[in-house]
Homo-oligomer: A and B are copies of this chain.
Amino acid sequence: MKEFPELIEKAKAAKTASRKTALLRTDAKNEALEAVAEVLWENRESVLSQNRIDVAAAREAGMKESLVDRLELTEKKMKGVVEGVRMVKALADPVGSSDAAWTRPNGLRITQVRVPFGLIGIIYESRPNVTVDTFALALKSGNAILLRGSRSAINTNRELVALIRRALEKTEVPVDAVALVESMDREAVDAMLTLKEYIDLVIPRGGRGLIDMVVEKTIIPVIETGVGNCHVFVDASADLETAKRIVINAKCQRPGVCNAMETLLVHAALAEGFLPGMVRLLEENGVEVRGCKKTREVAPGVKEATEEDWGTEYLDLILAVRVVPGVEEAISHITKYGSGHSEAILSNDHANIRRFMSEVDAAAVYVNASTRFTDGGEFGFGAEMGISTQKLHVRGPVGLKELTTSKYMICGDGQIRE
């Protein structure tokens, strides 16, 4: 494998810095976050000017406008970035809190304490705000961070990281607590994914392709922030006015995010009375509906849903609709096609609700609410790294607490094992 001295040097320095960040008091981390917020805002013009270089190059290379939009920073977006740092500053520090403590019969006192992972590696796509967001979350949770962004954002990211490091110079946080891998060689990512000696945790932030690539290549533990093929099941006993509001909200309020609904499942008893009006309302909200046979019978003009539709995360104003005989088939459909993100039942039948909540295997299951609430902010975590759909370590929003691991501290007075 090709060697990347820059990568090794930065990983090593960041790992060393992580031993310091792990021990920092909350005050010191907060002061550093405030300094970063100030320096970023004061120097927003230099960030925006580097960003213009990236944006021009991206357009030149023919990047889609929807992607350019994610790459592009504006004064308003910079304000959001800086506010994000101050929001993380305001969150409670998870480090040092204790999940459990007990005393054994032999007098050993065991305390399970939250401690940082150490060095977190982030591999991400075009959005440069991720650079600052993930740094703030990592630092507040006592970790150092090694960033590897995309080629398209390299000038912006370089400026952001330079400013963060400059801000840290006057604080107790070592500047090496954040570093950007600047080699844009694809093999630099492969090399980074083998640095188990330095990197304690990898978080890929981007589309399915990026996540799969990371999972396949790395030997470092990964938190996968995942795809959301989310379902809403409208049961026969649902309050239909509530159902309409929730369905429209789950699909239309922000269709491009992972907790938006992608398939609507409707109880057969509601096919005639409820579904045609629901389809009309969706269409009035700009949604293209793709339906099963029964849906197309009751709502003529609806396009046919294919097998592929059931498995697709549209991230767009498109919705697959299927009529099912009951809760059992709704659960089977979700088991077969769901991605384990967020699933909702709208019902007033206690037995069906209980069954849905128990049997659906997902990070979040909802009764009578929109799937759009699966979010660190909406859960009350303040901010997050994304939504994990894996089962190991964290399932759901990845907040500050989830960016820590634990350590057992055991105090004795001479105990030996008999």
Contact = CB atoms under 8 A, between A and B. Distances in A.
A373 B417 contact: yes
Contact of A408 (B19, B372, B396): B396
B219 A392 contact: no
A138 interface: no
Given A102-B380, A405-B395, A417-B253, A221 B411 contact: no
A61 interface: no
A112, A361, A362: most-surrounded residue (chain B CB, <10 A): A361
Given A395-B405, A409-B357, A245 B416 contact: yes
Contacts of A200: 391
Interface string A377-418: 011100000000011110110000000011111111111110
A104 interface: yes
Contact of A392 (B108, B110, B223, B380): B223
A374 to B, nearest CB: 8
Given A246-B416, A368-B411, A407-B362, A393 B395 contact: no
Interface string A202-236: 00000000000001100101110000000000000
Contact of A372 (B215, B413, B416): B416
A359 B23 contact: yes
A19 B359 contact: yes
B417 A405 contact: no
Q: How many copies, total? A: 2
A19 B23 CA distance: 43
Nearest to A331: B19
B412 A366 contact: yes
Interface string A330-374: 000001000000000000000000000111011111111110111
Nearest to A249: B416
Contacts of A17: none
A222, A335, A364: most-surrounded residue (chain B CB, <10 A): A364
A337 to B, nearest CB: 13
Interface of A: 19, 22-23, 102, 104, 108, 110, 112, 115, 117-118, 200-201, 215-216, 219, 221-223, 239, 242, 245-246, 249-250, 253-254, 335, 357-359, 361-370, 372-374, 378-380, 390-393, 395-396, 405-417
19 contacts: A19-B361, A22-B361, A110-B379, A115-B361, A201-B391, A221-B221, A221-B392, A242-B413, A246-B416, A253-B417, A254-B417, A368-B413, A369-B411, A369-B412, A370-B415, A373-B410, A373-B415, A391-B405, A395-B407
The 9 A-B pairs of least Cβ separation, nearest first, read: A369-B412, A249-B416, A221-B392, A372-B417, A393-B393, A391-B405, A242-B414, A369-B415, A364-B408
